Amino acid sequence: MTFQIYHQLGHNYVWNLDSIRDDSTGDGVIIGPRSMERTKVEALDPEIRRAAIFDPQFFLPDVPKGKLDTYDFFPEIAADGFESDEFPETSAAVSADGCVKFQISSNFRYVTIPTRYAGGMPSDFIESQERLFVKPFLKACSDQGCKKKVILQLVLNDNMLRDEEYSADILNWATGFDAVRGIYIIAETSSLSKQVKDSDFLYNLLRFMARLRLNNLKVIVGYLNTESIVLSLADPQIVTVGAYENTRAFHIRTFQEGTGKQQGPRPRLYLSRALQWIDRGYHGAIIRRYPDGAALFDKNKYQALMFKPTFKWHFTKPELYKHHFLELSRQLRRIAAVEGRERYRYVVSLINKSMDVHKRMADVGIVLDGDNDGSHLGAWLTAANEFAQDRGWV
């Protein structure tokens, strides 16, 4: 099946909305209340809201970071504070009721059942999620006569995905609700590298997604960087693109208190043929040394702007991200147009060509560091091949 592209909204979400409107780079948005006040969500164009998914971001129910405190159903606000780690069940019902009401009245595409973040592999993961979120939310949906499809959010880490028994337990549980029609997966890797370089993580995630698809559940994968290209093999309904790095990789620290202001990254540009974002500091060498190096930079209106001498490169410049949305969405749309084995072959060809680009760069003496080179591509290819073997595509 084909899939849709959604923008994972975060800081400066207006760029995403502009890009969808001006460049048709997405089919909808995932709204994150941490970055968007309630009144701003309510003021969104009804057409955007109709296609949008609301992610309540209850990951840390006692930490209303950012704009989360503008939502009276956020657990800490609904409960008027709570002392222990335990989110009281009475408050869970109030919170669920308010959150469902908000999602229905906003006319979002689905009603999302949120999840709390669980590091490691807690033994009470399922029991806790069901008691505090799934049951109260399904009850609120039933009480409010909700006609919208319900999706269940799961935040999974690499250990959960790797452990066969733990992962099977989650699958057995998540596929056991008649009322739940889709799963909104957020997968957190313990690695801090800018690209996912862990083949096992990707393969385990692909396998998990495929098992959900076996159950005819919609699969929505959030907080994705360019690994959406590989994850498309598991036939998701929606993959995401994002602007700043904290919408392209999920790390719980983004939602924790007191993480302070961090130094911004160096400005980087997405090169679709390299399947990589590459620091501005390497661009000159690529143009000078790589055969027809300038052609390696995808040509579009943002590229034209950015390559003017007067352009001030900085990671806060919208052109970098609008360029990325345009080029990645083009790649993803081409992938979405083919299915199954054909999609696998197409993705593999993209990866192979990209590996060749990186090799040729190395051949002419361009030595990219680990956040800019093609060191993620071997892991992508391995995961894709392994998954294809499971599917009988090779």
Sign of the alpha-carbon torsion through 128, 129, 132, 135: negative
Q: Which is nearer to other proteins, 51 or 126 (CB)?
A: 126
Query: Given candidates 44, 48, 51, 126, which one binds other proteins under the rule CB under 8 A?
Result: 126
Query: Given candidates 169, 200, 245, 371, which one binds other proteins under the rule CB under 8 A?
Result: 169
* Minimal distance, residue 123 CB to other proteins, in Å: 12
* Minimal distance, residue 53 CB to other proteins, in Å: 21
Classify the phi-psi angles of 180: left when phi > 0, otherwise alpha if psi is within -120 to 50, otherwise beta: beta
The alpha carbon torsion through 173, 177, 183, 189 (nearest 10 deg) reads -10
Q: Which is nearer to other proteins, 175 or 375 (CB)?
A: 175
- Residue numbers 172-211 binding other proteins by CB under 8 A: 172-176, 178, 211
Q: Which region among 20-28, 39-47, 102-110, 214-222 touches other proteins (by CB under 8 A)?
A: 214-222
* Minimal distance, residue 318 CB to other proteins, in Å: 42
Report how far apart, in Å, the C-alpha atoms of 120 and of each of 109, 147, 159, 251 are: 31, 35, 7, 13
Tell me: does residue 90 bind other proteins (CB under 8 A).
Answer: no
Reduced 3-state DSSP string for 199-265: HHHHHHHHHHHHHHHHCCCEEEECCCCCCHHHHHHHCCCEEEEECCHHHCCCCHHHHCCCCCCCCCC
Tell me: does residue 48 bind other proteins (CB under 8 A).
Answer: no
* Minimal distance, residue 212 CB to other proteins, in Å: 8
CA 236 – CA 221 distance, rounded (Å) = 7
* Minimal distance, residue 179 CB to other proteins, in Å: 11
Name the one residue in this structure whose structure tokens are 């959150």.
99
Q: Which is nearer to other proteins, 92 or 212 (CB)?
A: 212
DSSP string, 311-359: ----TT-HHHHHHHHHHHHHHHHHHHTS-HHHHHHHHHHHHHHHHHHHH
Q: Applying CB under 8 A, what is the total number of residues that bind other proteins?
A: 15
Q: Which is nearer to other proteins, 215 or 259 (CB)?
A: 215
Dig out the tokens for 104 from the structure: 């229905």
CB 96 within 8 A of CB 133: yes
* Minimal distance, residue 215 CB to other proteins, in Å: 4
* Minimal distance, residue 113 CB to other proteins, in Å: 17
Residue 179 in 3-state DSSP? Answer: coil
* Minimal distance, residue 154 CB to other proteins, in Å: 13
Measured at the CA of 74, the angle between CA 73 and CA 80, to 5 degrees, comes to 85
CB 148 within 8 A of CB 104: yes
The alpha carbon torsion through 79, 83, 87, 92 (nearest 10 deg) reads -10
User: Which of 226, 184, 141 has its CA nearest to residue 32?
Assistant: 184
User: Which of 327, 350, 326 has its CA nearest to residue 338?
Assistant: 350
Residue 185: exposure state from Cβ atoms within 10 A (0-12, 13-18, ≥19): buried
Tell me: does residue 118 bind other proteins (CB under 8 A).
Answer: no
* Minimal distance, residue 180 CB to other proteins, in Å: 9
Q: Which is nearer to other proteins, 139 or 251 (CB)?
A: 139
Tell me: does residue 216 bind other proteins (CB under 8 A).
Answer: yes
Tell me: does residue 119 bind other proteins (CB under 8 A).
Answer: no
* Minimal distance, residue 176 CB to other proteins, in Å: 5
* Minimal distance, residue 138 CB to other proteins, in Å: 12
Query: Given candidates 22, 42, 105, 168, which one binds other proteins under the rule CB under 8 A?
Result: 168
Tell me: does residue 217 bind other proteins (CB under 8 A).
Answer: yes
Number of neighbouring beta carbons within 10 Å of residue 243: 23
Q: Which is nearer to other proteins, 180 or 335 (CB)?
A: 180
CB 94 within 8 A of CB 106: no
Q: Which is nearer to other proteins, 138 or 366 (CB)?
A: 138
Query: Given candidates 24, 47, 214, 304, which one binds other proteins under the rule CB under 8 A?
Result: 214
Q: Which is nearer to other proteins, 23 or 130 (CB)?
A: 130
Residues that bind other proteins (CB under 8 A): 126, 168-169, 171-176, 178, 211, 214-217
